[in-house]
Structure 1
Amino acid sequence: MTHTKGAVAFRNVRKSFGHFTAIPDLSLDIEPGQLVTLLGPSGCGKTTTLRMLAGLESPTEGQIMIGGEDVTRLPADRRDVSMVFQSYALFPHMRVGQNVAYGLEASGIKSGEARKRAEEALEVVGLSGLSGRLPAELSGGQQQRVAVARALVLEPQVLLLDEPLSNLDARLRRQVRTDIRTLQQRLRFTAVYVTHDQEEALAVSDTIVVMKDGKVAQIGSPRELYEAPASEFIADFIGEANVVDGHVRSIEGDIAKVDVGGVTIALPSRGIKPGPARLSLHANAMKVRSEGQGVPGTIASSAYLGDHVEYEIDGPLGRIFVVDDESEVPLPAGSNVRLEVRPRGVALIPQEHA
C-alpha cells in the first residue's frame, strides 16, 4: 500500500480485554479518499476497531498505520484523526461557531483565524449564518452537521464516525446520511464509518467491511455484498435475505442452472458444482401472483405498508419473507399463490463458506 495521506492499515491487530479477545487478528487496508463502513451486529468488534484507530483503545498486539506512520502507541491527541460521536457531544453553553472553533483554539490557533475557519466549515456543511445560535436552537440533523463541521475544521487525515445517525428519526437519518456522503465525495477525505444498519451502510459506502466475532467476514462494494454474499451470515445480514435450499442441475461456463422450489433459473455459478446448494433469496426478488407459473406457496401472513406489502409464505422453500411492491391489496392468509422468482436478487452461496 502506498504511503499516502489518509491511508489506513491494520497489521495483525489483536485486542483483548482480560481473558476475552474482542479482535483476534485483524489485517485491513483502507485507501485514501474512500468512505469505508465497518458493519456488523452488536459485539462484532466494529466499535473496538474504530476506537483503536482513534487512539481511545490500545491494541494488545499488532500495528496501526495512518498515512504511512506507525501510530500504534501514539495517544489520541497526537493522531491526525477527528471523531464524530453518536451523541454529537456539542457544548450546550457555547454557540455553534464557538463549538466548531474550539478544537482549533485548543491547538493554539488564534481566535480570529479559528472563527474564520469555523465559518468556512459551517458553510461546507450547509449551515452558513447559524454560527451565533446555541445547539438547543438547532434540529437534530443540524446538530449532527455541526459535529461534522467541528471534526472537519481540524483537516484530519481520517474522519471517524461512530454510529453518527443513531439518535435521529428515520427521515432525518436519510437526509443526514445523504449530506455526509455528498460531502465526503466532494472533499474526498478518508472516512471510517461504524454502523449496525445495513441500509445505511449500503447508502453511504465505497467499501463495506462486514465483521463477525472480531473477524472480517467479507469486504466489498455495497453491490458485491448484496448480490454475491460469501456466506450464509452475509446473506442473512445484508438485506435480510432468505437462505434456502436449491439444487444445481448443470454448469455451462460460469452459469449454473439451478432448481429453486421447482423453478429453474440461471445464476452465476460462483465455483459451485452440480448438486445440493444453498441460495440467498432477497425478499424483493419475488413477485406474488394469484395464478400462473412459479414456486407454489400459501400465505401465512400479510402486512400492508403503503408502498409495498410484506408477506410470510409457506411452501417448498420453507417459510420465506417476501416484499411485493406490486400488490395494491394484500392477499389474505390462507391464499394459494405462485412466486415468480427474478434472478436479480438471487445468488448461490459458495459451499466452502456456508
Structure 2
Amino acid sequence: MAPNVTGSVVFSNVKKQFGTFTAIHDLSLDIEPGTLVTLLGPSGCGKTTTLRMLAGLEHPTAGRILIGGKDVTMLPANERDVSMVFQSYALFPHMSVLENVAYGLESSKMKKAEARERAEEGLNQVGLAGYGQRLPAELSGGQQQRVAVARALVLEPQVLLLDEPLSNLDARLRRRVRTEIRELQQRLGFTAVYVTHDQEEALAVSDRIIVMQNGVVAQQGSPRELYEAPVSSFIADFIGEANVVPCEVLRTENGQAIVQVGKLEHRVPARSHSVPGPAKLAVRPNAITLSAAENAAFPGRIKFMAYLGDHVEYEVETESGTLFVVDPAVDQRLEPGTNISIGFHHRGIALINS
C-alpha cells in the first residue's frame, strides 16, 4: 500500500534570497501528515519566510516545495491546498461570525445554504455553536481567534498555517487558547505548521519543533528532545534557560560521559562526539542543588537571592562563572555571602557542541 501523503509537506533544498541577502539557506524538511510542527526562532531567523513560501506568498529562489506529494513550488497562493490563520485574526468587522466563517466557501462558488451549513459545523468544531449571529467585536480575543481557525478549517485544507496566532492575547488567555488549538488539532487530525518566537508556546503545542537560526535549521526534534538534549548553547538558552559551564570529559562508558566541573564528577548522557578533553555543559537552573558548605568539590558563593513564593532564585559566583539557580527549597534560603557546595541533578544537564 502506498504511504499516505495527504497533508504532508516537503521542503527540498529550498533557498530564498532577497537581492543579495540570503534569508533561507538550502532548507530540507519533511512534515508528516496529521502532525503539528512549529517553526521557532528569534526575529530574522527565517521562520516567517519559510511559512510564506509554503503559503505561496513568496517563491523560492531555488529548490522545491511539495504539499500532499504535489509540487507547488511556483503555484500562486490560491492554487495551494492550505489555509492561514493570521496573528491579526483578519475578521471582517461588519460581518457576523457565521458570515466570516462562510466567506471563503461562498467565494469558491459554493451555494450559500451549503456554505452556511458548513460554517455552522465549523463553529461547532471550535466550541462556538450559537455564536454565529454575533459580530466579531462582541467576542473575546480568544473567541475571535477560534473564529479565525474555524474559517480556515471549513475550507478543508491539507495544511493549516498559523502565523504567531496568539501574539495579540494576554498571557493567561494565550495559555488557554494554545491548549484549545492543540486539542482541536489532535481531535481532527489535520496537519499544522505553526510559527512562533515563544519557546513555551512551542513546547506546549508541538509534535515536533524546528528551531531556526540565520536561515538554517539549528536543531529539530520533539519538545522533550530539544529541552533535554540541546546540541548548542543557542538551543539550550532558546528552549528554556541554561547555564553554560566549562567541564572536562574524563571518559565515556555505557553511553555515559563522566565529566568533571571543579573537582566534582558527574555522569551525563554521552554524545557521538564525546571524547576525553575540554567540553561544555548546558545546565538548567532547576538542575542545580545548593547546600551551605566549606571545602566543596564545586564551591560557590551566593551573590543574589530572591524569594518568589514557590521557589527561590539565586545568582551564584563560581570559578566557572555566575550561575542562575532556581531552587524549590523555599525553607532553606541562603543569604548573599554564604559559601556553598554546588551539585547537579541527573536530569536537565547535557553536553553541547558550543
TM-score range, shorter chain: over 0.9
1:211 aligns with 2:231: no
Residue equivalent to 1:287? 289
Kept in 2: contact 1:303–1:330 (CA 8 A):
no
Structure 2 residue 343 is matched with structure 1 residue 340: yes
Q: Deviations over 1:45-78 (max 9, x none)?
A: 0000000000111111111100011111111111
Aligned to 2:276: 274
* Equivalent position SS for 1:98: helix
Cα shift at 1:8: 0.4
By how many angstroms is 1:267 displaced? 1.2
Cα distance in 1 for partners of 2:262, 2:182 equals 40
Deviations 1:172-226 (A, max 9, x none): 1111111111111111110000111111111111111111110011111111111
Gaps of 5+ in 1: none
The 5 Å alignment of 1:239-318 reads: 239-271=240-272, 272-291=274-293, 295-318=298-321
Q: Displacement, 1:97?
A: 0.9
Once residues 111 and 291 of structure 2 are traced to their aligned partners in structure 1, the CA distance between those partners, rounded to angstroms, is 69
Aligned partner of 2:151 in structure 1 is: 150
1:74-93 mapped onto 2 (5 Å cutoff): 74-93=75-94
- Residue 332 of structure 1: how far off its partner (Å): 3.5
Aligned length: 351
Structure-2 residue corresponding to 1:120: 121
- Distance change (3 Å), C-alpha of 1:65 and 1:300: same
CA contact (8 A) 1:225 1:234 kept: yes
Please list the CA deviations of residues 298-329 of structure 1 after superposition, one character each: whole Å capped at 9, or x if unmatched.
Answer: 22223333322222211122111111222257
2:309 touches 2:330 (CA, 8 Å); kept in 1? Answer: no
SS in 2 for 1:181: helix
5 Å-filtered alignment, 1:223-238, equals: 223-238=224-239
Aligned 8 A contact 2:307 2:330 in 1: no
Is the contact between residue 245 and residue 278 of structure 1 (CA under 8 Å) also seen in structure 2? yes
Amino acid at match of 2:284: H
Distance 1:96 1:305, change over 3 A: farther
Could you report, residue by residue, the CA deviation over 1:132-165 in whole angstroms, capped at 9, with x for unpaired residues? 1111111111111111111111110000001111
Letter in 2 for 1:314: E
Give the corresponding residue for 1:16.
17
Q: Would you say the 8 A contact 1:100–1:153 is kept in 2?
A: yes
- Deviation per residue, 1:270-312 (Å, 9 max, x gap): 1201121111101111133334877422222233333222222
Q: What is the distance in 1 between the residues matched to 2:204 and 2:229?
A: 17
Could you tell me whether the CA contact under 8 Å between 1:294 and 1:341 is conserved in 2?
A: no
| TM-score, normalised relative to structure 2 | 0.95
Structure 2: how far apart are the matches of 1:79 and 1:185?
Answer: 23
Deviation for aligned residue 1:3: 6.0
CA distance in 2, matches of 1:347, 1:242: 11
Write the distance in 2 (CA, Å) between the matches of 1:127 and 1:304: 42
Match of 1:67 in 2: 68
* Displacement after TM superposition at 1:114 (Å): 1.1
CA RMSD of aligned residues (A): 1.7
TM-score w.r.t. structure 1 length?
0.95
1:193 match: 194
CA shift digits 1:101-123 (9 cap, x unpaired): 11111111111111111111111
CA distance in 1, matches of 2:114, 2:246: 64
User: Which residues of structure 2 form unaligned runs of 5+?
Assistant: none
Q: For residue 284 of structure 1, what is the amino acid of its counterpart?
A: N
1:223 partner amino acid: R
Contact preservation (8 Å) 1:313, 1:321:
yes
Deviates more, 1:190-199 or 1:300-309: 300-309
Distance 2:179 2:258 in 1: 39
Q: Does 1:136 align with 2:133?
A: no
Work out whether residues 11 and 64 of structure 1, in 8 Å CA contact, stay in contact via their aligned partners in 2.
Answer: yes
The AA in structure 2 aligned to 1:325 is: P
